Structures are given as structure tokens and as C-alpha cells.
Amino acid sequence: MNIPYSPSSGVFGALKRRMTRLQARKTMDCTKGRRIVSFSFDDFPRSAAQIGAQTLENYGWRGTYYTSTGFESTKNHLGPLFTAQDVARLVSKGHEIGCHTENHVDCALNPPVVVEREIRQNQKRLRALGAPTPRTFAYPFGEASAHSKALLGQHYACLRGVKNGINRRFADAHQLYATALEGGLDDKALALSFVDDLAKAPGWLIFYSHDISPNPGEWGCTPELLQAVCEAVKMAGFEVLPIIEAYSQLELLEKAA
């Protein structure tokens, strides 16, 4: 049986996570005028590569796929995971393939030597799959430490976490806020509240999900929820870009200011 791993919880874990958000930061200002939304999928299940990608493509958009390369052609609580063909198709359609380590390791617990090895293996495998070298990273389980933020920041333009929020004035490119798309239409209020919030002032709103399925697991969402959020984003007139493109554009704006 494939039981998902749970990182440390409780008061100590919460305190440590709060400390980590204040350490090894790479501050960026995302309030220079644009309202950008990025959609990302972690691990990633075939359903995200198929239903998720198709949904975005119907709007002329592309997403970011945080790939744990060790999951290729396997199956777990998220359903069947990506295949080589899925990666090839995503790349050909202009989606971004990002790093999520080879074996989905907790970067807060593992020593730097393991994290380094994990990202090297991930790059090697993605090269073999014909994907460009990943330029952005998402922390497995959302777990980061000051050390891993500093280390991974040397390899990637930006690093994505899992704390809900919009990246604005003092955003941390070493641990970007991202809002979960989980559940079905009954759960749309949270995601839509962030869409409404972005309408009020410029910033960068990142969503993430896992499986996109009529009966999603705990960390996935239904095709209807994804569609509803896409529709709200389109109605609001926001730009939708893969994470590396959003980061690059915001960095240019910041430098020009």
C-alpha cells in the first residue's frame, strides 16, 4: 500500500516553518503594475498532464509541471503518474517542466548532499526525456529550511512553497506563496477569493494542484473546479504565464523601476 508521507506537524513544526519563511529570502517586488496568475501541478499525475493541460490550452494558456522524475510511469494515491509521452507532449505545447526532486524528498530534513543529488538526478532524467533543464523548483510537501532555500536558490530562478497568498511587495522568490486548488465546486470560495484579491492590486497569484479528476484525492481537484477558476481568471482579464515566464517578466519590471 502506498501511504503518503506526512511531514512534521504540531506547534514545533509550525514555529519552524514560520522561522524558515524569514530566512534565506530572495526578496522580489511583484507590485509593479501587472496582475499575473500561474497554474502549477505537482508530482505529477497523468490527469494533470491530460485534463489539466487541456483545460489551460483551451484558454491559450500554459502551466508549470513540477516533476518528481522517480514517479515516471508509476501509480500512487494520486492515480497513475506521468509517462515519457506526457512530458514530451507538455514540452511540445510550451508548458514548463520544473524540478520537484527525483524522489519527492523532504528538503527540510535531508542534508544538502542528498538534495544536490536529487536535483542532479532530476535534471539528468528530464534531459533524457527531452525536456529543457528546469529553471524553477517546488518544495515536495512544501517543506523548506534556511539551508535548502539557500542551496536551491543557487540552482533555480525561483522556488515555490505551499502557503496560500498572493506574492506582492516583499515576496520571497525562495519560497513563493501558492494557493491550493483542492476539492470540487463546493470548495471554490478560497481560490476565487484570491482571484478577487488580485483584482484589487497588482501581484502574482500562483495556484497548485495534483490530480485533476472527477473523484480527486485529498490534494487534487475536479475538472469543474479548475475550469471555474480559469473562467474567473479570464473574466478578470489577468495574464496567465508559466512560473518561469512570470518570474522573468516581473524581474524585468523590477529592474526597470
Q: Give me the least distance between CB of 42 and Zn ion, in Å please.
A: 4
- Residue nearer to Zn ion on the CB measure, 134 or 140: 140
Q: Which residue is nearest to Zn ion (CB)?
A: 42
Q: What is the signed CA dihedral for 181, 186, 188, 193, rounded to 10 degrees?
A: -130
Residue 96 neighbours by CB under 8 Å, 6+ apart: 62, 63, 64, 65, 134, 135, 136, 242, 243, 244, 245
**How much helix, strand and coil, in percent to the nearest 5, is found in the chain?**
45, 20, 35
- Residue nearer to Zn ion on the CB measure, 43 or 118: 43
First to last CA, the chain: 53
Q: Give me the least distance between CB of 140 and Zn ion, in Å please.
A: 5
Rounded-to-integer distance, Cα 94 and Cα 62, Å: 7
- Residue nearer to Zn ion on the CB measure, 49 or 232: 49
Q: Give me the least distance between CB of 213 and Zn ion, in Å please.
A: 16
8 Å CB contact between 48 and 210? yes
Rounded-to-integer distance, Cα 63 and Cα 242, Å: 5
- Residue nearer to Zn ion on the CB measure, 49 or 228: 49
Quick one: which H or E segment has residue 35? Answer: strand 35-43
Q: Give me the least distance between CB of 188 and Zn ion, in Å please.
A: 23
Q: Give me the least distance between CB of 71 and Zn ion, in Å please.
A: 9
- Residue nearer to Zn ion on the CB measure, 42 or 102: 42
Residue ranges of E strands in 77-235: 79-80, 96-99, 136-138, 158-160, 166-167, 171-172, 179-180, 203-209
Give residues in contact with Zn ion (CB under 5 A): 42-43, 140
- Residue nearer to Zn ion on the CB measure, 138 or 226: 138
How many residues can be counted in the chain? Answer: 257
